[in-house]
Amino acid sequence: MKTWMIVSAYILFAPLLGGLLAGIDRKITARMQGRFGPPVLQPFYDVLKLFEKESVAVNHVQNFYILFFLIGVIFTGCLFFSGGDLLMVIFALTLANIFLILGAYSANSPYSSIGALRELMLMMAYEPMVFLVAIGFYMVTGSFGISNLVQSNKMLLPYLPGIFAGFLYILTIKMRKSPFDLSMSHHAHQEIVKGITTEFSGSTLALIEIAHWYENLFLMGFIFLFFTWTSPWGPVVGVLACLVVYFLEILIDNSFARAKWQYVLSSSWAVAATLGFANVVILQLLQK
């Protein structure tokens, strides 16, 4: 019963919250650049406007993939917030992302193809680290179940500092922030136009944006898991940590220029192979 409530709350309120976060993000970004910035509700205006536009496409199937991308992301989020299996969450997210990539591929346009390939490369870059997060949780608590992780009797962060740092590193990729926003971005990088979203417009583009909001929210959920424990303070610390991390991402976003793909791939694999690996090894030694 309780899970159902959480899940429906997620489906209903996640886009609102995600959109709000995005608005705050834009405002803070503007302030960091010495500008006044758009209204906080700007992301909602954008999305609502997109729904009012004419629907155009390169072919009849491309928008369909995006529909499945959105469904996939929502499904992943539900899985996450209903306390499902962390590995299943990762797999479901991968599936959803693949729909996005296939949509961009199917448009068969130069810019969206480059965007799709880059997105795919980014997935390859962050996937190992995401798995290591799940593995780290499992090694500490003995379970992949998110419902069990939330109820752990200690904060998990002290056991997983390396993995947390690694996750922060790839979180920049997942949140599409500079320097790792290779496949598309919210900024004026235009060397590949709008990358993976180039051929999507109007309501389809709005769906991508909404999916992104849903996604951001459960990415924050990952951060939350690192910090929370069973005490009234646990969730508070968790939410605070999420906000701090979000702010950190905005800061990173504004202080770096886009990196080359070689750097993104090699550095995120290196982070996973050093920080993540070291953390896992130490955990294993501790447990013996």
Partner 1 sequence: MLFPLLAAGLLAIVRNGKLQGFIVRVSALLIASGSILLAVQTFGGRLSIRVESEWLSYGMLALDIAMSVLIVVFAIRRRKPMAAILTLIQTPLLIWFELSNGHGIVIAADMAIDRLAILMALIIGVVGSLICVYTIPYMKEYHHHHPEFKDRTPFFLAMLFVFLSAMFGIVFSNNLVWMYFFWEVTTLCSFLLIGYTQKKEAVDNAFRALVMNLAGGVGFAAAVVYVGMNLHTMELSALIEMGLKGTIVIVPAVLLAFAGLVKAAQMPFSSWLLGAMVAPTPSSALLHSSTMVKAGVFLIIRLAPILSGNIAGLMVAMVGGITFLLASLAAISQTDAKKLLAWSTVANLGLIVACGGIGTYEAVWAGILLIIFHAVSKSLLFLSVGTVEHNIGSRDIEDMHGMVTKLPEMAVMLTIGIAAMFLAPFGMLISKWAALRAFIDSDNVLIVMALVFGSAATLFYWTKWLGKIVAVLGRSARLENHIKKDEWVSLGFHAAIAVGLCFLFPVISNRVIEPYLEGFYGTQIQSVLSAGNTNLVLMMLGMVLLMPIAMYVYVHLQDEKILTAYMSGVNQGDNRGFTDSFGKPKDMYLANWYMDKYLNEKTLSMIGIAASATTLAVVLMMALGGAL
Partner 2 sequence: MPFFSKSPWIIHYDGSSCNGCDIEVLACLTPVYDVERFGVINTGNPKHADILLITGSVNEQNKDVIWQIYNQMPHPKVVAAIGICATSGGIFADCYNVLGGVDKVLPVDLYVPGCAARPEAIIDGVVKALGILGEKRKKMVARAKRKKMVTRLKQMKQKGGESHVRKSALSRHDP
Q: Is 53 in the site for partner 2 (CB under 8 A)?
A: yes
Question: Cα separation of 223 and 239, whole Å?
Answer: 9
For every residue of 156-184, DSSP letters joined together read SGGG-HHHHHHHHHHHHHHTT-TTS--S-
- In the complex with partner 2, which residue's Cβ is closer, 89 or 211? 211
Going by C-alpha positions, the residue among 216, 215, 210, 221 that lies closest to residue 84 is 221
Q: Which does 108 bind (CB under 5 to 8 A by kind): partner 1, partner 2, none?
A: partner 1
Question: Cα separation of 6 and 268, whole Å?
Answer: 33
Q: State both tokens at 10.
A: 């997620």
CB 196 within 8 A of CB 101: yes
Q: Which does 45 bind (CB under 5 to 8 A by kind): partner 1, partner 2, none?
A: partner 2
Q: How far is the CB of 195 from partner 1 (least distance, A)?
A: 12
Prior bond to 179 cis, omega within 30?
A: yes
For residue 148, count CB atoms less than 10 angstroms from its CB and return exposed for 0-12, middle for 13-18, buried for 19 or more: middle
Q: Is 190 in the site for partner 2 (CB under 8 A)?
A: yes
Judged by the rule CB under 8 A, the positions of this chain that interact with partner 1 are 54-64, 67-68, 71, 75, 79, 84-85, 87-88, 91-92, 94-95, 98, 101-102, 105-113, 116-117, 120-121, 123-125, 127-128, 131-132, 135, 138-139, 144, 193, 198-199, 262, 269, 272-273, 277, 280-281, 284
- In the complex with partner 1, which residue's Cβ is closer, 135 or 160? 135
What is the total count of residues that contact partner 2 (CB under 8 A)? 30
Q: Is 24 in the site for partner 2 (CB under 8 A)?
A: no
b/e map of 260-288 (b: 16 or more CB within 10 Å)?
ebeebbebbbebbeebbbebbeebeeeee
Q: How far is the CB of 83 from partner 1 (least distance, A)?
A: 10
Residues interacting with partner 2, by CB under 8 A? 26, 30, 33-39, 42, 45-46, 48-49, 52-56, 188, 190, 193-194, 197-202, 205
